[in-house]
Amino acid sequence: MLDFETARYNMLESQIRTNDVTDKAVQAAMMQTPREKFVPAGKRSVAYQDEDMLIHTSDEGAKRYLMEPRVFARLLQMADIRSDSLVLHVGAGLGYGPAVVSKLAETVVALECDAALAAAAGQNLSDVSADNVAVIEGALEAGCPEQAPFDVIIIEGAVPEIPAALKDQLKDGGRLVCVLGHGLAGKAHIVERSGSEASARAEFSAAVAPVPGFEKPQGFVF
């Protein structure tokens, strides 16, 4: 049987610490969260691989991925989550991301657009006693205005642009982190809100799988 604790430690040493993640709280949260419990049963042996993992395909054929550990950890470090933070996690998947964030924040709202994933995430989070996470089903690009404003918003997956609706759900001084652009063009960005303004800056290159719901509408073609 695979020693998951050793696999988790190896992930920390070879993927997290070696990729400029120096925040001890982020390291501890990643080490304490059993990633293998948040992937399909047949993929538990490769739960700690250093790449995005396909975790679900909807009836319509939409594919969902679990973000690779090193990029996710760097996004968390960039977000600077504090113990009293209210966090919106956009794209809960099977619940791994919210489970990690739950160890850093006071309260996590985990938003998921796929009903099957939302149900599974809720069960998985309950199984690991992540009691400060609320899973909500809804459109990812719309955020969760009824629970806003948020100290931090995390989008787990690549998006072509950040909807104004999400920026508007940040508190003054709040931060949104995500990857803008797909494939080799992807860049991790942080958006910081100051008063009524929100400014974004790129931090590092990151090639991760897209998250649904953020597709730009195609323009008119003659």
Please give the chain's pLDDT, 222 residues, in tens. 579 999 999 999 999 999 999 999 999 999 999 999 999 999 999 999 999 999 999 888 889 999 999 999 999 999 999 999 999 999 999 999 999 999 999 999 999 999 999 999 999 999 999 999 999 999 999 999 999 999 999 999 999 999 999 999 999 999 999 999 987 789 999 999 999 889 999 999 999 999 998 876 555 455
d(CA 144, CA 111): 8
d(CA 101, CA 60): 29
pTM, to two decimals = 0.94
Question: What backbone phi and psi angles, to 5 degrees, belong to 49?
Answer: -65, 155
DSSP 88-128: EEE--TTSHHHHHHHTTSSEEEEEES-HHHHHHHHHHHHHT
pLDDT score at 217: 59
